[in-house]
Structure 1
Amino acid sequence: MDEHDGPAERFEAHREQLRAVAYRMLGSLSEADDAVQEAWLRLSRTDLDGIDNLEAWLRTVVSRLCLDMLRTRTSRREDPLGWQASALAGEDDPEHEAVLIDSVGRAMLVVLDRLPPAERVAFVLHDLFAIPFDQIAPIVERTPVAAKKLASRARQRVRGADTVPDAELGRQRRVVEAFLAAARSGDLHALLAVLAPDVVRRADPMVLTPGRETVARGADTVARETLVFGRRAKYAEPALVDGRVGVVIAPHGRLLLALAVTTAGDRVMEYDIIADPARLKRLDLALLSGG
């Protein structure tokens, strides 16, 4: 692709990269595509001879569009109960969206969604795409120094506070990953091996079928119940939940449920299924190291 190609050909050379940037900023494939399409419309009305660096120009346009979209959202992923019901029914991600989610990580999308718009844009551009702060500054309407501070604050929120030693987090993570693997595979024996004999499962009523107890006790009862949870486990990913290794469940990259998990040794002692939007909003969620 050279400078003598037409606007459409030159734009198409950058489309996938622009889509990747927009998706990480917005967490929605349809919104990301809208931002990219609007960037094309703006380019089609612009004299290319006045653009020194088309890649940077397009990235700036898409980033500003995403920032405006983030600022004008009326809710922060507070999806209606109807959407929750469809997700609980095991609705698959569309194929392309599922690939994008896997490339980013469900936990990353969940945590990014909790950032203020300018912090999210600065973090995505710098930490995920290595864009220098002198280019980020005009997008977020800050000085380069202030843009760097935005990304730094976002990074601290994404990574969480170092309140638990790495060795302890590593142990918790191994137990939680074993639990998820057993749930995904429907392996009752593996579940019994990772659950403590007197394990307790608590859950918000809204996630349970009518008549089911909000508290279940004992490895056999909890393990058999968890086999039903297994169909949701494909949307699950370990994350820090209130400073301990737990689980976020995020169909389409949107937080639906969280599991606050208590472990001891190599067993799960207790887990709490959190579905109430008010409780979800109060959770301190962050990525695990290396996540």
Structure 2
Amino acid sequence: MTTDAETAVFEEHRPVLMGVAYRMLGRVADAEDVVQEAWLRWSAADRAGVREPPAYLVRITTRLAIDRLRQVKARGEAYVGPWLPEPYATDFGDTVPDTEERAVLADSVSLAVLVVLESLSPLERAVFVLREAFGYPYAEIATMLDRGEPAVRQLAGRARRHVDERRPRYDVDPAQRRDLTERFLAAAAEGDLAGLMDLLAPDVRLVGDSGGKAQAPLRILESADNVGRFLVAVGGKSVPDMSFRFLELNGGPAVLVLSGGMPDSVFQVDVSAGRISSVYVLRNPDKLRSLASA
């Protein structure tokens, strides 16, 4: 039987466990399932022998997430069109006061990084998340994963090189990103192609995720001309009872488009050298359910 104190310990660390699970899986529902399973393991464990509850809970969560990720990869699920992670609300508030730490956490959960993490092996992904996002020492990660420290260091180096080679470079100035997001939304909504062209980098990319369940490009669009014209065409189509809401998703500002008060799509941009370098459009209704109460 779990005491109130032991329940409180788990709840205290739930945000970290959810953060680990989501970065491992890129899916909110799967991450919630993993954290719930970790709670069941915690409830059934002989907690008298647990000297460091935080490390114990992270170890359980990480191993459960690895198992879930291996199951997904083994199924080889086909996905219609480009894939993006399920949007994840990230409001660090006062819990992460250090600016540099906030930037690291925000980057580790960004759409661009999570897309790259999909190409890592489950073990590489676990080591990268624990080391780069949460700063765990190699020795502690080795214990969590039941691996030798030299092997963990090799996994970390391989994962870091892979991510560094493939993730886009962008600016992390929150104020500039918010400003460009607002101007982008206004230009797209008004069908202002000239205004959009002023905001978009020449080599901008638009990644749309619909899973084949809504209208979105089934391939990545490239160049300011192609992206701008697509956005003007989309902006000209009416959405019933449309409204907008700004919120923080995956470490940065995003626009939630609502139809009749329900999520219709999410837009988010990355910024480089003062212009929009990437546009992400999420329209898969399965990935928007968690935002219904946002």
TM-score, length-scaled by structure 1? 0.58
The amino acid of 1:26's aligned partner reads L
Q: Output the CA distance in 2 between the equivalents of 1:140 and 1:249.
A: 34
**Amino acid aligned to 1:125:** L
Q: TM-score, normalised by structure 2?
A: 0.57
How is 1:1-291 mapped onto 2 (pairs within 5 angstroms)? 6-73=5-72, 74-75=74-75, 78-80=78-80, 97-99=88-90, 103=106, 104-160=109-165, 183-185=184-186, 186=188, 187-193=192-198, 223-229=228-234, 234-238=266-270, 247=278, 249=280, 251=282
Report the Cα offset of residue 119 of structure 1.
0.4
| Structure 2 equivalent of residue 273 of structure 1 | none
Query: Does the 8 Å contact 2:23/2:114 carry over to 1?
Result: yes
- Once the two structures are superposed, residues 161-189 of structure 1 have per-residue CA deviations (whole angstroms, 9 ceiling, x without a partner) of 79x9x9xx98xxxxxx9998765332333
Task: State the Cα distance separating 1:110 from its structure 2 match.
Answer: 1.1
Output the CA distance in 1 between the equivalents of 2:224 and 2:119: 35
Which amino acid in structure 2 is aligned with residue 184 of structure 1? L
How far 1:127 moved relative to its partner?
0.7
Change (3 A) 1:194 1:31: closer
Q: Which amino acid aligns with 2:79?
A: D
Counterpart CA distance in 1 for 2:90 and 2:57 is 24
What's the secondary structure of 1:249's corresponding residue?
strand
1:175-221 CA distances to partner (integer Å, 9 max, x unpaired)? xx999876533233323446899x9x999xx99x8xxxxx9x996x9
Give distance in 1, aligned partners of 2:55 and 2:228. Answer: 52
Query: C-alpha offsets along residues 7-66 of structure 1, whole Å, 9 cap, x if unaligned?
Result: 212211111111111111111111111111111111111121111001111110001111
Unaligned 5+ residue runs, structure 1? 88-92, 171-176, 210-214, 257-291
Residue correspondences, number: 219
Contact 2:59 2:145 in 1 (8 A): no
> 1: distance between equivalents of 2:77 and 2:277?
20
How far is the alpha carbon of 1:152 from its aligned partner? 1.2
Describe the shift of the 1:147–1:27 C-alpha distance in structure 2 as closer, same or farther (beyond 3 A): same
- Quick check: 2:70–2:122 contact (8 Å CA) kept in 1? yes
Answer with 1 or 2: which has the greater Rg: 1
Separation in 1, partners of 2:117, 2:166: 16
Which residue is equivalent to 1:270?
none
Q: Is the 8 A contact 1:180 1:233 kept in 2?
A: no
State the Cα distance separating 1:160 from its structure 2 match: 1.1
* 2:278 match: secondary structure: strand
Runs of 4+ deviating beyond 4 Å:
177-183, 192-197, 221-224, 229-234
Task: Indicate conservation of the 8 Å contact 2:120/2:159, yes or no.
Answer: yes
Higher mean C-alpha deviation, range 22-31 or range 130-139? 130-139
**How far did 1:148 drift?**
1.1
Q: Distance in 1 between matches of 2:4 and 2:265?
A: 47
| Seq. identity, % | 33
SS at the partner of 1:17?
Answer: helix
